[in-house]
Amino acid sequence: MISQTIVFKHLYQNPPAAIAYAKGSKISDEDLKNAIKHLEKFYEDLFIELSNFGEVRELRIVDNLAEHLIGNVYVRFNDESSASKAFNALAGKYYRSNLIQEEYCPFMKITDGKCKRFEEGKCLRGALCNFLHFKQINKALIQSLRDEMYENHPEYRKNRNNLFQRKQRNHEHSSSDSSLDGYDNIKRKNIIEKWNAKYHVEKEMEERLKKRTQEKIGLAILEEKLKRRKRFDEDEKMNDYRYIRRRQKFEDSEEETISKEDL
Ligand SMILES: [Zn+2]
């Protein structure tokens, strides 16, 4: 399986002083300086060599002394095609009289396999630890090698710019995505609750209005009834009045008649 990362097995030949140092023995300052120089020379040469195949993102040299790890070198390219270019070009070649043994490495990042305790200076297993202990490389040296790489291969810088833009875009997307996620979860729930609340309020208002209208209608009907009743009563009264008047008239005339008859 092709990956962005290649491991070159036992590519770095530790000078004896470096092995002694890695085992925890005391060595002279002179030996230590020479060991560092040896390491930095190797790192520099390899970085420049590898950067001809593609953009080198990470280059690490293992400090472990276990048989399967000693001298292993990890390189992570920006992409798989750069890694495969390097892999194919170096297959069967020699590096300082050592046949290059290479494998694609499954790590996403080289540091995924690192010993965290070693980084903190607390690894008790020492040089025989099975997690990766990486040799310290001067950060200024790494930076100058990167600068040189981008100078010699300006097309890699485009990767950087694209990556930067992509990251920004992703960030923009992710921010809107995250708001969408929020929308799906809490916000959506809140919105629905608000809708429901609004619906209930509207519904309630509607009900109240309806009730009031009904009440109004009821009132109107009642008023109408009362009015009619009043009119009826008035009519009745009028009728009574008319009746009384008619009756009086009748009685009066009868009285008159009687009195005339009496006369
Ligand atoms: Zn360790």
pLDDT tens digits for range 127-151: 889 899 999 999 999 999 999 999 9
pLDDT confidence tier of residue 198, bands split at 50, 70 and 90: low
Q: Which two tokens stand for residue 28?
A: 């002279």
Query: Cα of 119 to ligand 1 centre, how many Å?
Result: 8
pLDDT computed for residue 177 by the predictor: 40
Strand-pairing partners, residue 73, are 8, 61
Angle between helices 154-182 and 139-152 (to 10 degrees): 110
More confidently predicted of 185 and 207: 207
pLDDT of residue 182: 41
pLDDT, greater one: 100 or 163? 100
- CA 10, 16, 17, 22 dihedral sign is positive
Question: Tell me: the pLDDT tens digits for 66-85?
Answer: 999 999 999 999 999 999 99
Instruction: Tell me how far the alpha carbon of residue 7 lies from the centroid of ligand 1, in angstroms.
Output: 19
Is 94 a residue whose pLDDT tops 70? yes
Q: How far is 184 from 171, CA to CA, in rounded Å?
A: 19
Average the pLDDT over 198-223 and give the result: 74
**Of 94, 33, 105, 49, residue with least CA distance to 72:** 105
Cα torsion angle, 127, 103, 13, 45, sign: negative
CA distance 5 to 79: 9
Q: How far is the CA of 131 from the centre of ligand 1 (A)?
A: 5
User: What is the reported pLDDT for 88?
Assistant: 96
Give the Å distance between the CA of 122 and the centre of ligand 1: 8
Q: Is the pLDDT of residue 60 over 50?
A: yes
pLDDT at 91 over 60: yes
Tell me if 72 sits within 8 A of 11, measured CB to CB. yes
- What's the chain's average pLDDT? 81
Rounded distance from Cα 1 to ligand 1 centre (Å): 28
Q: Would you say residue 166 has pLDDT above 70?
A: no
Q: Residue 99: pLDDT band by 50, 70, 90 thresholds?
A: very high
Contact 156, 55 (CB under 8 A): yes
Encoding tokens for residue 250? 């009748």
Average pLDDT of span 227-251? 73
Which run of H or E residues covers position 252? helix 188-262
Report pLDDT for 98: 85
pLDDT band at 186 (very low <50, low <70, confident <90, very high): low
Alpha-carbon gap, residue 177 to 143, rounded angstroms: 35
Of the two residues 54 and 224, the one the predictor is more confident about is 54
User: For position 142, what pLDDT does the model report?
Assistant: 95
pLDDT of residue 81: 95
pLDDT for 220:
76
Taking the centre of ligand 1 as the mean of its atom positions, its distance from the CA of residue 106, in whole angstroms, is 20
Ligand 1 center from residue 130 Cα (angstroms): 7
